[in-house]
Structure 1
């Protein structure tokens, strides 16, 4: 089969349609025919791997609860998110994706920089326990380069993407050190010249987050090969029209 990222990847499942990073969002994406989804993996206070984006619970719970890592997994499971949903374990999401044959980009998102390597280790353990340690079905990414270094040491066969959110070239040593497959760049910061530099260095170029079909087409002309989209099925339909 080979490793083949599609044009459109479901950002946090399908966050424009269902509550982000929830089982409902991932199931919606899977049922809609989305082949790859992206999620965020973070440790609870008792070091269980949860799927959640923010360091704090406030935005998603609609009240002041503070940091995610201040709570145990059991406590986190008791909190209701927008739409009456719950925070899933990474294990639950991987089992769901496996049932549909859907592939995943796991962003390793330590709640604190000092937890980057431990988070990577815990994520890899869950990945292996749930049969996702397949180099054709998994992409790791992170803004924390030490997390990528750890995944490289643990599983060099799994591709890695360096996440970049500024115009600084500081990512280049990390990409080289971890033998990165891709540079996953903030779409609003990309230029034709920067895109060409990245491609000339031998990396695949992915862009986040893009929800406008015309923007996708423009970035495609610069060499961007995959896009993280909040309504992935709808975007794929627009692009195929």
Structure 2
């Protein structure tokens, strides 16, 4: 399925000195109730994927945040959800002749000029699209934990290795972080397989809702099946938990994007391990009331 000799060589370059297996599930390690993960930061209250959103989540008391990673024209990793800068920045105003304003068509310096906050509210004017390095520094400063999503890896060959390199350089591939503070996920099974092959100690998640019969195949390389909340049931969650992932622990499920108390109660009732949400305070209250 993967080129293991090449993966082993790359893993050595990425600083793997020994296999570090996660010591416990994120769920079991911290909570008897689902973890609450702030989607793109506290994105109902601050512009998504910005440092302000990370800080807002921290100020609200949330340890886990989720983000998205893409790559610029000059090869820098930046934190943004869309492969296009139009929705969350003023790129049309600053670069009116550069349609369709794809992330991959702009340099890091050009993206750094863009306002990524005013679209959300005037109080966030001047917020920037952070580089992954800047983002990791802020998450570290806030003593937070991260679910990192590799977006559209088919557009960015080698982004898995590059993401791991940045994480290593920022101190996120040591034993402490790998065992309890980091999940890497993607909608691309191939991308998740690549991360698992390069760093088999890292917890990984596949984004989607595979057929129950196909779950054992995903359990070979993914520790989590992270499905949208509208696609799951109690039986589906039980089928996930009945399998063991690549680290010998029961498969987990972080479900998304859950923003109401009613949907929180429904997902929690199914026994999910984590809830990814734009409104972490709403989810926290709903979980506490159960």
Please give the TM-score of this superposition, normalised by the length of structure 2: 0.75
Tell me the equivalent position of 1:44: 72
Contiguous gaps of at least 5 residues in structure 1:
none
The number of residues matched between the two structures is 237
Q: Is structure 2 residue 121 aligned with structure 1 residue 60?
A: no
Tell me the equivalent position of 1:103: 145
Tell me the equivalent position of 1:172: 215
- What is the CA distance between 1:195 and its match in structure 2? 2.2
Deviation digits for residues 80-99 of structure 1 (CA, Å, limit 9, x no counterpart) = 12422210011111111111
Contiguous gaps of at least 5 residues in structure 2:
1-22, 28-33, 93-98, 119-124, 245-250
Question: In the alignment, is the contact (CA less than 8 A) between 1:3 and 1:137 conserved in 2?
Answer: no
CA distance in 2, matches of 1:50, 1:169: 35
- What is the CA distance between 1:4 and its match in structure 2? 2.3
CA distance in 2, matches of 1:168, 1:109: 22
Q: 1:170 to 1:86 in 2, by over 3 A?
A: farther
- What is the CA distance between 1:237 and its match in structure 2? 3.3
Tell me the equivalent position of 1:130: 170
Choose which of 179, 204, 211 in structure 2 pairs with 1:160. Answer: 204
Question: In the alignment, is the contact (CA less than 8 A) between 1:50 and 1:88 conserved in 2?
Answer: yes
Q: How does 1:75-86 map to 2 (within 5 A)?
A: 75-83=110-118, 84=125, 85-86=127-128
Choose which of 215, 223, 238 in structure 1 pairs with 2:271. Answer: 223
CA distance in 1, matches of 2:276, 2:128: 23
CA distance in 2, matches of 1:3, 1:239: 19
Question: In the alignment, is the contact (CA less than 8 A) between 2:212 and 2:236 conserved in 1?
Answer: no
CA distance in 2, matches of 1:71, 1:52: 13
The structure whose residues are more often strand, as a share, is 1
Q: Is structure 2 residue 112 aligned with structure 1 residue 69?
A: no
Of 12-21 and 216-225, deviating more is 216-225
